[in-house]
Amino acid sequence: MCGRFQLKISTSLLARIFNAVSTVENFETRGEIFPSNDSPVLINDPQQANSRRLGLMKWGFQFSGSKKLIINARSETIAEKPLFKDSFHQRRCLIPAQAFYEWSGPSGNKIKHQIRGENEEIFALAGLYKKFDFENEDSWRFTIITTEANEEIAEIHDRMPVIITKDDISSWLDPKGEKTELKSLLQPFAGRLSIEPPPAQRLF
DNA sequence: CCAGACGTTGTT
DNA sequence: GTCTGG
DNA sequence: CCAGACGTTGTT
DNA sequence: GTCTGG
């Protein structure tokens, strides 16, 4: 899954890297991003085709009347679940992250692993976004899509966030994207990762 | 119509 | 809030 | 996501 | 157990 990630970079640089127009003036980065925090999110400009925007959104969908934040969406079911369906069709986004975190070990004695790209590339995590109008808030929120862990991550966890590679960014954000093609992008990461600390050694 | 679910992960 | 099931 | 708090009154 | 803060 993905319950925390890292981002420590100016939004203007981030916008340049992802070829987007930034709507964020001065995002105070905390470095580590937690559920409920605001973080920059990349979307396709709804007003203008092929124009990317970078804007702040809050991490976590929510049911009205519930306090629980829904910070992940299973890739296997996003096309059917009522909470995610319309977002999957019309409001897909990417969440820039320089690392994400997974935990291993028993509760009370958990080990936190930081996962980065092998050459420090900035991840584009697949996400969905949606507007929420309750709790005296009018807020745009995002959630991060998960898939099965790849071989490396499986050592510490059975799920991981979907990472969209540079070449697939336009396809994922394309408002005219075909459902089948979109789903085919939701795969466990095929490249190499760096995990720190590394997974515990297997004895056998 | 009303009641109840609506989500994921991890833990048991 | 909105959808589903009864 | 995890870690840590979870409380009030009165006195200094 | 549940809520809050980071």
Q: Quick one: pLDDT at residue A88?
A: 96
Confidence of residue A29 (pLDDT cuts 50, 70, 90): confident
Strand B interface, protein residues by Cβ within 7 Å: A 1, 63-66, 68, 70, 72-74, 77-78, 81-84, 102-103, 106-107, 110, 146, 157-159
| Secondary structure (3-state) at A47 | coil
Q: For residue A194, what are its two tokens?
A: 């760096």
Q: Quick one: pLDDT at residue A204?
A: 53
- Mean model confidence pLDDT for chain A: 92
Taking 70 as the threshold, does the pLDDT of residue A41 lie above it? yes
Confidence of residue A135 (pLDDT cuts 50, 70, 90): low
Taking 70 as the threshold, does the pLDDT of residue A136 lie above it? no
Q: Quick one: pLDDT at residue A82?
A: 93
Is residue A101's beta carbon less than 7 angstroms from any atom in nucleic acid strand E? no
| Domain residue limits at A104 | 5-201
Taking 90 as the threshold, does the pLDDT of residue A126 lie above it? yes
Shortest CA to C1' contact from A2: nucleotide: D1
Q: Quick one: pLDDT at residue A104?
A: 93
Number of domains in chain A: 1
Domain with A195 in it: what CATH number? 3.90.1680.10
Q: How far is the CA of A51 from the C1' of D1 (A)?
A: 33
Q: How far is the CA of A103 from the C1' of D4 (A)?
A: 18
Reply yes or no on whether A2 is catalytic: yes
> Closest Cα to residue A161, out of A64, A93, A107?
A93
> Closest Cα to residue A100, out of A76, A124, A134?
A124
Cis amide linkage into residue A188, ω under 30° from 0: no
Taking residues A177-182, report their average pLDDT.
93
Taking 70 as the threshold, does the pLDDT of residue A35 lie above it? yes
Reply yes or no on whether A93 is catalytic: no
pTM score? 0.94
Taking 60 as the threshold, does the pLDDT of residue A203 lie above it? no
Q: How far is the CA of A36 from the C1' of C5 (A)?
A: 33
